[in-house]
């Protein structure tokens, strides 16, 4: 029989969290990774992601060595980026992982290339809209051409903005003085 000086604790894992009595506590554990990411604070997730590469991959969508994970989380805290913004910066190759380090590298080539692409696409769209307007009459074909050209322009311009222009602007907007 254990004496009163012996330390005794019991943990039961269940769906509900409750204090069941004086000598044990039941804890809630998330059943899915999405639930864990949705309900855990950023600070706790940051601590867990440093040592757990699978959790880091589920959170950000890419893998990195432990020292690079530390650097990425430090960048996230310094610039106050959200998880989605970190993913966007990585996809645009503005957040670069080289070896065991991660760095934010602003790319003016990417920024101006995106702006140039949107400008050229705009000129091309206006050119085709003028050609459509020069056709005699105005009917269903004209409306369909306007709709198609306008929709294609806005779709391609939005994707170019998201992937090429906006990542560089994120760094400027979140820069610390």
pTM beyond cutoff 0.95: no
Residue 67 included in any domain: yes
Question: Which pLDDT score, from 0 to 100, does residue 37 have?
Answer: 84
3-state secondary structure 74-112: HHHHHHCCCHHHHHHHHHCCCEEEECCEEEECCCHHHHH
Residue 34 included in any domain: no
Q: CA dihedral in degrees (132, 137, 143, 146; nearest 10)?
A: 20
Domain total in the chain: 2
Residue 3 has pLDDT above 60, yes or no: no
Residue 55 included in any domain: yes
Pairing of strands 10-14, 24-28: parallel
Residue range 155-159: average pLDDT?
95
Asked if 110 and 88 count as a contact pair (C-beta separation under 8 A), the reply is: no
Residue 81 included in any domain: yes
- Do 115 and 100 belong together in one domain? no
Residue 128 included in any domain: yes
Classify 134 as helix, strand or coil.
coil
Asked if 173 and 106 count as a contact pair (C-beta separation under 8 A), the reply is: no
Give the Cα separation of 90 and 170 in Å (integer). 12
Question: Which pLDDT score, from 0 to 100, does residue 28 have?
Answer: 59
Which of 62, 86, 104 represents a domain boundary (last residue)? 104
User: Phi and psi of 156, rounded to 5°?
Assistant: -65, -40
Classify 166 as helix, strand or coil.
helix
Question: Which pLDDT score, from 0 to 100, does residue 169 have?
Answer: 85
- Do 86 and 126 belong together in one domain? no
Question: Which pLDDT score, from 0 to 100, does residue 71 have?
Answer: 95
Residues of the chain with pLDDT > 90, as a percent, come to 49
Give the Cα separation of 123 and 168 in Å (integer). 24
pLDDT in tens, 30-87: 677 888 888 888 999 999 999 999 999 999 999 999 999 999 999 999 999 999 999 9
What is the domain range of residue 117? 108-174
Residue 72 included in any domain: yes
Residue 155 has pLDDT above 80, yes or no: yes
**Mean confidence (pLDDT) of the chain:** 84
18 - beta bridge partners?
26
């Amino acid at each position: 029989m254990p004496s009163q000086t012996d330390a005794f604790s019991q943990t039961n894992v269940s769906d509900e969290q409750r204090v069941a009595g004086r000598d044990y506590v039941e804890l809630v554990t998330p059943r899915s990774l999405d639930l864990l990411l949705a309900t855990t604070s950023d600070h706790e997730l940051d601590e867990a992601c440093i040592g757990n590469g699978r959790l880091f991959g589920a959170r950000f969508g890419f893998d990195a060595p432990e020292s690079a994970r530390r650097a990425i989380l430090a960048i996230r805290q310094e610039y106050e980026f959200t998880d989605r913004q970190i993913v966007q910066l990585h996809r645009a190759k503005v957040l670069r992982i080289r070896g065991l380090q991660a760095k934010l590298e602003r790319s003016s080539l990417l920024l101006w290339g995106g702006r140039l692409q949107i400008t050229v696409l705009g000129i091309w769209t206006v050119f085709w809209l003028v050609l459509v307007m020069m056709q005699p009459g105005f009917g269903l074909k004209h409306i369909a051409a306007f709709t198609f050209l306008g929709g294609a322009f806005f779709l391609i311009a939005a994707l170019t903005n998201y992937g090429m222009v906006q990542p560089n602007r994120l760094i400027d907007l979140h820069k610390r003085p």
